[in-house]
Amino acid sequence: MANLCAAALPDLPSAVGRPAYDLRAVGIGIVHLGLGAFHRAHQAVFTDSVLATDRRWGILGVSMKTPRATAALAAQDGLYSVIERSQEGVSLRVIGAVRETLFAAGDPAALVRRLADPAVHVVTLTVTEKGYCHDPASGALDFAHPDIVHDLAHPDAPRSAVGFIVAGLAARRASGAGPLNVVCCDNLPHNGRTLEGLTRAFAQHRDPALAVWIDANAAFPCTMVDRIVPATTEADVAEAARRLGVADQAPVVAEPYNSWVIEDRFVAPRPAWEQAGAQMTADVQPFETMKLRMLNGSHSTMAYLGYLMGHAYIWQASADPLLADLVERQMAEEIAPTLVAPPGVDLSAYGRQLMERFRNPALPHRTYQIAMDGSQKLPQRLLGTARERLAAGLPIRHLALAVAGWIRYASGTDERGAPIDVQDPLAAAFRQIVRDANADPGPVADGFLDLASVFGADLVAHYAFREAVRANVIALVRDGARATLARHLGVA
């Protein structure tokens, strides 16, 4: 079978969407760091629509750690399909926005040069939570992180996203290439502000005058990004080929829902993403906090407890009456009351819509995938809510069970005694905690609850919080997740 490529576009089946512009007329105006499935199903789709009327915004897609995505895309002229799956059916759209690719680790100097190209006005990032080399609880740059240590020693051949951004900005300053918009699209709290702080801390260490220049010449708008994009499987690759009539080694699968709320805070030209459905606003925070706590908080709760209960997929976990009851009550009773509803949003309707999105059986989203990197995710998904409720003297019953679900999962053994391959930057620390505690649940919980980079010094020292989580960990180990949940919900 032939490969998807520019020459194959005219012969695609008529039902398949395709770029509404001449690929050869597109210039590179955006450098994107982290060419994973989420970027390809989210920002690249918005940008693809913008390109129909404004050819300046082609994307140079950069892979940070492995050349897998760049190699696959380069072999097909940067083209790939988005397979949109709902209960009603499947639709395909070929995206042309990624015009060039680059593997950062293969040629760091080339990436720095491209970041300093005067035609590039925007850098977007999806490098996942752990890609920011920060302390998740405080948001501060981790100067002991091996990549940051390396990048401060080799500022012109960096490895980390922050190292590249600072190197690119330094090169722009030196060459007079002009200001830059840096748009974080990861699920971090106050993501733009957080990245700005990390960039400033790194630049300050390198050269205080550079930090001052960056303050005036770079903007870091906050964004809320939302689209459920499970990892692509072999079956998806086969489905893309069947529906396209040509082979696509880099398709992505997504739900129909696609939302991007962007703080209108730019210092350089930018794509008119609002013409493609993005929402520009003066204040992203209510959207972002709502999404991180309601959607991602529920996702993580279902991922840990669902995995322990034997659910491989989120659609199964959210169809389990016990888990559905827990996450619905957690949203309504404990999360929503901490939120300021964004303009025009009704929080109960938002919660109901989330449950519907989770239950989409056409979307095989693995609990195991969402369970990854919990140490980096818990602070913004569950712990901020718990912290605010505790400060207000409010109960955290459901949140304590969800956090205990993480500890039970991250201890590395499932309910049948089989090992769980826990993927997390702190996985070695977790194993040490379990060894030191002889796998005794109370002491295991204590060991986890001492992790200040996750819980922050305040929750580490919060007696009531620790006791609530600890009791749930002990119950989960002793009785299993299903029985613990039934008792918790009063249906045992």
Closest approach of ligand CS2 to the CB of residue 365, in Å:
7
Closest approach of ligand CS2 to the CB of residue 16, in Å:
25
Determine the Cα–Cα distance for residues 271 and 121; give it in Å rounded to an integer.
9
Residue 162 or 261: the one with the smaller Cβ distance to ligand CS2 is: 261
Rg (CA), the chain: 23
Find the residue with minimal CB distance to ligand CS2: 299
Residue 229 or 250: the one with the smaller Cβ distance to ligand CS2 is: 229
Residue 84 or 226: the one with the smaller Cβ distance to ligand CS2 is: 226
Cα 350 versus chain centre, distance: 20
Q: Rule CB under 6 A: which residues touch ligand CS2?
A: 187, 226-228, 295-296, 299, 369-370, 377
Residue 101 or 223: the one with the smaller Cβ distance to ligand CS2 is: 223
Residue 18 or 32: the one with the smaller Cβ distance to ligand CS2 is: 32
Residue 227 or 398: the one with the smaller Cβ distance to ligand CS2 is: 227
Residue 76 or 330: the one with the smaller Cβ distance to ligand CS2 is: 330
Determine the Cα–Cα distance for residues 478 and 441; give it in Å rounded to an integer.
9
Only one residue has tokens 């398949």, namely 16
Residue 228 or 331: the one with the smaller Cβ distance to ligand CS2 is: 228
**Residues 6 or more apart in contact with residue 235 via CB below 8 angstroms:** none
Closest approach of ligand CS2 to the CB of residue 280, in Å:
19
Closest approach of ligand CS2 to the CB of residue 276, in Å:
17
Exposure of 448 in the CB half-sphere (CA atoms within 13 A): 29
Determine the Cα–Cα distance for residues 197 and 202; give it in Å rounded to an integer.
9
Closest approach of ligand CS2 to the CB of residue 487, in Å:
27
Number of other CB atoms surrounding residue 329 within 10 Å: 15
Angle between helices 397-410 and 463-479 (to 10 degrees): 60
Residue 178 or 425: the one with the smaller Cβ distance to ligand CS2 is: 425
Residues in the chain: 492
Closest approach of ligand CS2 to the CB of residue 111, in Å:
25
Residue 12 or 37: the one with the smaller Cβ distance to ligand CS2 is: 37
Q: Which two tokens stand for residue 363?
A: 């979307």
- Please name every residue paired with 92 in a beta bridge, in sequence order, or none if there are none: 83
Closest approach of ligand CS2 to the CB of residue 299, in Å:
4
Closest approach of ligand CS2 to the CB of residue 369, in Å:
6
Residue 47 amino acid letter: T
Determine the Cα–Cα distance for residues 160 and 158; give it in Å rounded to an integer.
6
Q: What is the DSSP string of 99-158?
A: EEEEEGGG-HHHHHHHHT-TT--EEEE---GGGG-B-TTT--B-TTSHHHHHHHH-TTS-
Q: What is the DSSP string of 347-403?
A: HHHHHHHHHHHHT-TT---BHHHHHTTHHHHHIIIIIHHHHHHHHTT---HHHHHHH
Closest approach of ligand CS2 to the CB of residue 41, in Å:
10
Closest approach of ligand CS2 to the CB of residue 184, in Å:
13
Determine the Cα–Cα distance for residues 438 and 28; give it in Å rounded to an integer.
55
Q: Where does residue 170 rank: exposed (0-12), middle (13-18), buried (19+ CB within 10 A)?
A: buried
Determine the Cα–Cα distance for residues 11 and 348; give it in Å rounded to an integer.
46
Closest approach of ligand CS2 to the CB of residue 418, in Å:
23
Residue 196 or 226: the one with the smaller Cβ distance to ligand CS2 is: 226
